[in-house]
Amino acid sequence: MTALPLVFDAPRRGMPPRHLADLTREEARAAVSELGQPAFRADQLARHFYRGVTDPAQMTDVPAAVRETLTEALLPGLLTVVRHQTADDGRTRKTLWRLHDGALVESVLMRYPDRATVCISSQAGCGMACPFCATGQQGLTRNLSAAEIIGQAVAASAAMANGELDGGPGRLSNVVFMGMGEPLANYARVRKTLDALLTPAPHGLGLSQRSVTVSTVGLVPAIRKLTEEGRNVTLAVSLHAPDDELRNTLVPINTRWKVGEVVEAADAYAKKTGRRYSIEYALIRDVNDQPFRADLLGKLLAGRLAHVNLIPLNPTPGSKWDASPLPAQREFVARLRAAGVPTTVRDTRGQDIDGACGQLAAADQVDGMPSVALAAPSMEPVEAPVPLGAEADQE
């Protein structure tokens, strides 16, 4: 079932030029000084960058004579829009980005009545080889730089501020690392991204910790490292099976870190941060959706600071698997709740633009190079508890 090997070490090739967002504030100030400019210009550039200003002509607080030089040196354009696609009456917008080396990644911006969430990619492709995930089946092209990851969130923030999504101007409130890639396999750059997301404006996007979610296949040492960072972002663990035998096939990293170890690492995170973690579980017909597996999962999670987000599988091209039928979903929810485990079924956005999890496998010719952009899972946890018969939550 798992044709692909697990890949941890990303190829070094293709990393983009240095960008202000890769640097600490001190490093950015030093870089500006090296260019013969007063250090405070770094702060001016940061203010423009985090507001989504990329055109030097708009940077009127920077002397015209040095705008181009500073922009070229510290704000190189790293993300080029290939196309936007909208769905859900204009409330969901998926963007396909081309990176400087032709690699393609996606992000998905979703507007809700009370919040706006962007789902961002942390790698081009993914090395974790989960067989039900289109991105996982493509393998890893490369890690994204911090600036390439941060840039997706900044673009979403600017799009909200500029009223580019239906409903008028608004504010980006949430970021989920549920696009392409395994964020904890690109740890250092994801950590820098967290800094940028959480640092107050104008030096960051000023989001609150609880509104940022890092989703992982369960890289246990990296979860432990994250626990020690002292940040309280939300942790989501892609479990997909309560037993090692099945999880070894669905989430191949399980051959290295078992269900018990992953859940223990997540518990330690919850204990340190006081934050409930999410367990993600794609419901796959006749694969992991049996009542006995719901009971096993309930037993595993009862009494832990966890809640379960069930995701009816979005079938990927060529896959033999399908989503669980509604009665099986309902039964699964009921059994988990009976075990005392808070459970929701995810609101899936963007299905009609292949923006939902694992759906997209668009191949694009970019600069004569074939590049592959794959499914950015475009979902986020439903925050309010949903009633049984949770199909109301699936759009």
Two structure tokens written together for 154:
């900044």
Residue 143 or 238 with smaller CB distance to ligand SAH? 238
Angle at 177 between CA 79 and CA 105, to 5 degrees: 30
User: Catalytic residue at 106?
Assistant: yes
| Distance, CA of 63 to CA of 68 (rounded, Å) | 10
Burial of 205 (0-12, 13-18, 19+ CB in 10 A): buried
Q: Which residues contact 47 (CB under 8 A, 6 or more apart)?
A: 202
Give buried/exposed letters for 339-372 (b at 16+ CB in 10 A, else e): bebebbbbbbbbbebbbbbbbbbbeeebeeeebb
Residue 20 or 134 with smaller CB distance to ligand SAH? 134
Work out how close the CB of 34 gets to ligand SAH at its nearest, in angstroms, rounded to a whole number.
37
Residue 104 or 313 with smaller CB distance to ligand SAH? 313
Name the residue with the smallest CB distance to ligand SAH: 358
| Candidate segments 104-112, 127-135, 166-174, 190-198, binder of ligand SAH by CB under 6 A | 127-135
23 phi/psi in degrees, rounded to 5: -105, 155
Work out how close the CB of 332 gets to ligand SAH at its nearest, in angstroms, rounded to a whole number.
14
Two structure tokens written together for 309:
């987000």
Q: Which residues contact 8 (CB under 8 A, 6 or more apart)?
A: 127, 185
> Which of 133, 308, 373, 374 lies at the binding interface for ligand SAH (CB under 6 A)?
133
| Distance, CA of 315 to CA of 27 (rounded, Å) | 45
Residue-wise DSSP of 315-380: PPTT----BPPHHHHHHHHHHHHHTT--EEE-EE--GGGT-STTT-EEEEEETTEEEEEE----EE
Task: Say if CB 223 and CB 261 are below 8 A apart.
Answer: no
In angstroms, the first-to-last Cα distance of the chain is 30
Cβ–Cβ contacts within 10 Å for residue 323, how many? 19
Catalytic pick among 119, 130, 133, 357: 357
Residue 216 or 227 with smaller CB distance to ligand SAH? 216
Q: Does 311 bind ligand SAH (CB under 6 A)?
A: yes
> Which of 238, 324, 351, 378 lies at the binding interface for ligand SAH (CB under 6 A)?
238
| Candidate segments 22-30, 129-137, 333-341, 384-392, binder of ligand SAH by CB under 6 A | 129-137
> Which of 37, 138, 227, 316 lies at the binding interface for ligand SAH (CB under 6 A)?
316
Name the amino acid, one letter, at 228: E
Residue 66 or 270 with smaller CB distance to ligand SAH? 270
Number of residues this chain uses to bind ligand SAH (CB under 6 A): 19
Work out how close the CB of 174 gets to ligand SAH at its nearest, in angstroms, rounded to a whole number.
14
Q: Does 382 bind ligand SAH (CB under 6 A)?
A: no
User: Catalytic residue at 126?
Assistant: no
What mask, x for binding ligand SAH by CB under 6 A, covers residues 140 to 179? --------------------------------------x-
Catalytic pick among 106, 182, 280, 380: 106
- SS3 assignment for 308-324: EEEEECCCCCCCCCCEC
Residue 112 or 321 with smaller CB distance to ligand SAH? 321
Residue 146 or 282 with smaller CB distance to ligand SAH? 282
Q: Does 257 bind ligand SAH (CB under 6 A)?
A: no
Q: Does 358 bind ligand SAH (CB under 6 A)?
A: yes
Q: Looking at the annotation, which residues are catalytic?
A: 106, 357
Residues in touch with ligand SAH (CB under 6 A): 128, 130, 132-133, 178, 182, 215-217, 238, 280, 282, 311, 313-314, 316, 357-358, 377
